Structure 1
Amino acid sequence: MSAAGPVPTWLATGAQREAAIAARLAATGSPPVNSVVILEGMPTGLSPLADLADTSPMLQVLRIAPGCLHCSGNLVLRVTLNRVLRHPPAQLFIGLASAEHLELLRDFLQAAPYAALLDLQADPSA
């Protein structure tokens, strides 16, 4: 965990999740502060995050295999989060393809050990 405390973390869902995350990043300034974006699945066309990632060394975009992060036992997300949190970013975004199990995933992130490491924020909207 960083000296500044838990990492502000946003969850975004649906087809417009990348646009919502890009808008939130743009609101924090240009270039974005040290930020990590974890996205479920591949982009469905041009990603609004691609240009930001290409022009800012302070933005890391990680893509994980598609599939419900909750139903897969959170293993892929857990491994990815643990790697990211070894050197905590200033902000973290997690983009899910579907909101079907959003509340279950939110509960997972609000339990130990992530409750002490992440500060879940209101979900960004596109």
Structure 2
Amino acid sequence: MPAARLPTTLVTGASAAQREEAIAALLAASPPSSSGAFSAVILEGLASGSSPLLASSSVRLVRLAVGCPCCAGNLVLRVTLNRLLRQGPERLFIGLASSEHLDQLRSWLQEGPYDQLLALEPVVRA
């Protein structure tokens, strides 16, 4: 029986604070299902001020340098994503600074091998 695909949510918004607040709210709404379970969060850019998102035993948080993750940052995103997927999260959130290439990123995540690993959910616009 094939493994279930990982629920994956892309989050966009005008500011890092808005994106991080939206992800924090989504995390609070669906806490980990069991002890040891965790959600993975990939964020583009640095936090603005204090972030509602903190790395913990239930959240693995990775920040990427600002820049389009599907263009200039494709390799960095791919390596980061592969590392997180090997750790076995139960949910994945990707926070994007710009929605300009959102369709390209969704398309890239729907190609192999990610098409077998990720279940893309509707985009959250913060």
Question: Is the TM-score greater than 0.5?
Answer: yes
Instruction: Tell me, yes or no, if structure 1 residue 24 matches structure 2 residue 2.
Output: no
For 1:48, the equivalent position in structure 2 comes to: 52
Give, as a single letter, the amino acid of the residue that structure 1 aligns with 2:51: S
8 Å Cα contact 1:24/1:124 also seen in 2: no
Q: Which runs of 5+ in 1 are unaligned?
A: none
Distance between the aligned counterparts of 1:89 and 1:125, measured in 2? Answer: 23
8 Å Cα contact 1:36/1:60 also seen in 2: yes
Give, as a single letter, the amino acid of the residue that structure 2 aligns with 1:7: L
For 1:98, the equivalent position in structure 2 comes to: 98
- Give CA deviations for 1:57-105 in whole Å, capped at 9, x if unaligned: 1111100111011121611100001111112200000001111101100
For 2:39, the equivalent position in structure 1 comes to: 35
User: Match of 2:81, SS?
Assistant: helix
TM value normalised by structure 1 = 0.86
Distance between the aligned counterparts of 1:58 and 1:49, measured in 2? Answer: 11
8 Å Cα contact 2:32/2:39 also seen in 1: no
8 Å Cα contact 1:9/1:118 also seen in 2: yes
RMSD over equivalenced CA pairs, Å: 1.9
Alignment of 1:68-83 (within 5 A): 68-72=68-72, 74-83=74-83
Q: Which runs of 5+ in 2 are unaligned?
A: none
Distance between the aligned counterparts of 2:81 and 2:12, measured in 1? Answer: 18
Number of equivalenced pairs: 120
TM value normalised by structure 2 = 0.86
Distance between the aligned counterparts of 1:48 and 1:25, measured in 2? Answer: 11
Query: Does 29-38 or 85-94 show the bigger shift?
Result: 29-38
